[in-house]
Amino acid sequence: MSEEPHPVAAGRPASRRKPAGRVLANAALALAFLFVVVPIAWLAQMSLRPNEDILGYRLLFTPTLDHYSSLLEGKFLRYFLNSVLSSSLSTAIALLVGTPAAYVLSRWRFRGQRHVALWVLSTRMAPQIAFTIPFFLFFRRVGLNDTVWGLALIYLTFNLALVIWMMRSFFDAVPRALEEAAWLDGCGIWTAFLRITLPLAAPGLAATAVLCFIFSWNDFFYALILTRTNAMTAPVAIVNFMQYEGWEWGKMAAGGTLVMLPVLVFTVLVRRWLVSGLMAGGIKD
Amino acid sequence: MPAAGAEAGIGYGIDRRHRVALLAGLLPALLLLVALTLAPALYLFVISLTPATPTNPASLTDFSAPAQNYVSALGDERFIESLWVQIKLSVSTVAVQTALGLGVALLLNRGGRLVGALRTIFLIPTVLPPIVAALIWKVLYTPDVSPLHRALASVGVPVASLITNPDTALWAIAVADTWQWFPFTMLIILAALQVVPREPLEAATVDGASPLQLFLYVVLPFIRPAIVIAALFRLIDSVKAFPLIYVLTSGGPGTATQVTNYYAFTQAFNYAYWGYASAISVMLTAAVFVLSALIGSRGAKAAGHE
């Protein structure tokens, strides 16, 4: 992990800049800020506007939760739960299977290590359609299409590699002396892992879990193809508001806001690890 | 410290008994990874050698003309055109996103609490569920609903829908894609900027270098590997652009925004040409792997550089 508390090196010349340059830089930042934030804020405010004023401009309006309550009256809650279930399930399995493997890869250096990194990178890079066709055919045969389990399984294609990649670097940071002392005391390797190493890597485990959850939660492509009505997730449901129920902008905006809220909260929590999470396999930690 | 053990290929303090236990921890994950990634990849390749389609179950195992799908693709005008659309979209978005990401990263590379908050806020589009990003731009690009379109109309310059015009649709998608992904390059470049060593900067400042000279001759050489990696990541991910195209244009108008990935998707799931779609996916995956290998070697170099 490259998170040494480095001073903001190149920031020094910037602060010595002449006032004119400073003003220009701040203006550019303000513009970029508007470019990023206004579109998101627009969606959020639409979700609170009453239907008769859905396209209104006035900043002062009486917010209403009508769109949210109409979402809950429909089946949206169920689709939302499907998203929660498939993402949590996939995250849990990935952690359960991937964490021990990450530990082994951290402690037991062998010659093929570079290939593991490349493999992880490949699963991150492969176009989803390449996985979707085989999984679709396989699921059709075994009856996993349109199930939460099926989704959780295909999310493992990226989650498992992510867990192995992230946790390995977290375990690298835990000193070996403690667990080796435990081994000498006759403690089994996995007992020592559970009692000593894993608790020390707990913050890393939490960060990894959150990243897995976000990446599964954000999926649209797999759920679009591998689910219909039973296991449909919230992102797919929102698009269906558009296509089958006409243009219900308020409802769409409310659904979109609900889907992005958990991600916003989680992002603040895992900001520090986002670089390694987004680029898993691509850079050496 | 563990050098001796590493030389033998075995970590320090790990004996035979431990090795069995360690293998037991590693194997489930390896087997699952093989089952989930390698097996489907092979299966995809096998399907690509058949004329597979759901109406005819025998077609899944019909290997009488294994190269047919690949031959067809080379003569398929829509496939070739989808490659052009892909190249236009990829080249333009990667260039703009890298430039914009670099610019914003430079602006954000200073201390202060406000700047710290901005760094997190600027990340939002990239971590947002892609479908929400698509929804946001659907609102902005639909003339009756969009605040931009209506504001322009109210000052007397009405603009027709950009996403239903074949000349502008692809660029409209490129703008939305840039909004969504420039924070990615920004994040990677910012991380590199923060570990640029101080000494050469201070030395150059003492020597009277201008800010531009500082950037070009001191900062840029340090962050160049990060810029290249960020651009390569975006290049590969741009091949996978889907939710934006699906929601904003569905590949249209006509085939104006039908990138290769989208074309494979329609062939597989709208027309049920599984064999043909698999062949396109195999080619797409192969292209992505070549680029990934490039990142693999670049990444190692970038790491060695630090």
Q: Please state whether the peptide bond connecting residue B253 to the residue before it is cis, i.e. omega within 30 degrees of 0.
A: yes
Per-residue model confidence (pLDDT) at position A282: 64
Q: CA B158 to CA B148: how far, in whole Å?
A: 10
The reply to whether residue A6 touches residue B179, judged by beta carbons under 8 angstroms, is: no
Average pLDDT, integer, range A168-189: 86
Q: Give the contacts of A268 (CB within 8 A, at least 6 positions apart).
A: B120
CB-based contact A36 B302, cutoff 8 Å:
no
Give the pLDDT mean for A76-93. 96
Q: CA angle, B249 as apex, B245 and B254 as ends, to 5°?
A: 115
Query: Which chain B residue has its CA at the smallest distance from A36's CA?
Result: B122
The answer as to whether B111 is a domain residue is yes
- Taking the Cβ of residue A121 and every Cβ of chain B, the question of whether any pair is shorter than 8 Å is answered with yes
pLDDT at position B146, please? 87
pLDDT of residue A176 exceeding 50 = yes
pLDDT at A10: 44
State the pLDDT confidence band at A245, using cuts at 50, 70 and 90. low
Per-residue confidence band for A14, with pLDDT thresholds at 50, 70 and 90: very low
Question: Which residue, among A24, A133, A278, would best test binding to B if mutated, counting the most B CBs under 10 Å from its CB?
Answer: A133
| Stretch among A32-41, A162-171, B169-178 having the lowest mean pLDDT | A162-171
A and B: number of Cβ contacts within 8 A: 305
Chain B contact present for A42, CB below 8 A: yes
Biggest alpha carbon–alpha carbon distance for chain B? 80
User: Does residue B146 lie in a domain region?
Assistant: yes
pLDDT at A115 over 60: yes
**pLDDT value at A11 more than 80:** no
Identify which of A106-120, A143-157, B52-66 has the greatest average pLDDT.
A143-157
Calculate how close chain A gets to B200, using CA atoms only, in Å: 10
Residue-averaged pLDDT of chain A = 85
- Specify the pLDDT at position A60: 74
- Indicate whether A4 belongs to any domain: no
Residues A30 and A164 in one domain: no
Expressed as residue numbers, the domain containing B168 is 69-305
Are residues A80 and A96 both part of a single domain?
A: yes
CATH classification of the domain holding A269? 1.10.3720.10
Q: Do residues A226 and A274 share a domain?
A: yes
The answer to whether residue A219 is domain-embedded is: yes
Q: Which domain holds residue A46?
A: 11-64
Residues A57, A15 share a domain: yes
Residue B5 lies in a domain: no
CATH at B80 = 1.10.3720.10
Q: What is the mean pLDDT of residues A245-274?
A: 86
> What does the DSSP 8-state code read for residue B142?
-
Q: Quote the number of domains for chain B.
A: 1
Q: Which of residues 66-95 of A touch B (CB under 8 A)?
A: none
Q: Is residue A5 part of a domain?
A: no
Rounded Cα–Cα distance for residues B25 and A194 (Å)? 12
Q: Is residue B170 part of a domain?
A: yes
Closest CA to A125 of B188, B237, B243: B237
In angstroms, the separation between the Cα of residue A126 and the nearest Cα of chain B is 6
* Domain count along chain A: 2
Q: Which residue in the set B19, B121, B292 is minimally distant from A36, CB to CB?
A: B121
For residue A217, pLDDT beyond 90: yes
B104 interface with A at CB cutoff 8 Å = yes
Q: Does B208 touch chain A (CB under 8 A)?
A: no
Region A191-203: mean pLDDT is 90
Low-confidence ranges of chain B (pLDDT < 50): 1-12, 303-306
- pLDDT of res. A268: 83
Please tell me the predicted confidence (pLDDT) of residue A215.
93
The per-residue pLDDT for A31 is 94
Residue A113 lies in a domain: yes
Q: Are B283 and A104 in contact (CB under 8 A)?
A: no
